[in-house]
Amino acid sequence: CILLVQTIDAYTMFISDCATSINIDICFQVTQTIAFFHSCLNPVLYVFVGERFRRDLIKTLKNLGCISQAQWVSFTRREGSVKLSSMLLETTSGA
């Protein structure tokens, strides 16, 4: 996003037409707003995509009765196999 903002900003130095300049100014404001919004939203997304959040959400849904025991078992098996795989990878890679 930042690269797009910088590119539009650099392009405005070569424009002499007033109508084009106004359109570029609007594009610059829109892309700058998107870039700032992305920067603010990014940390929030990392929280919701994190492993602990997913695990706690599934646990809460199970406690509320929103997911079945079979779905809970499937999730915990998947989580366990991912952890086991990462532990084996660390052990075999010598890390």
Contacts of 71 (CB under 8 A, 6+ apart): 62
Say whether pLDDT at 37 is over 50: yes
What mean pLDDT is predicted for residues 58-84? 75
Of the candidates 71, 80, 88, the residue with the CA atom closest to the CA atom of residue 51: 80
Identify the residue with better confidence: 8 or 87.
Answer: 8
**pLDDT at residue 91, as a whole number:** 47
Confidence of residue 45 (pLDDT cuts 50, 70, 90): confident
Mean pLDDT score across all residues of the chain: 75
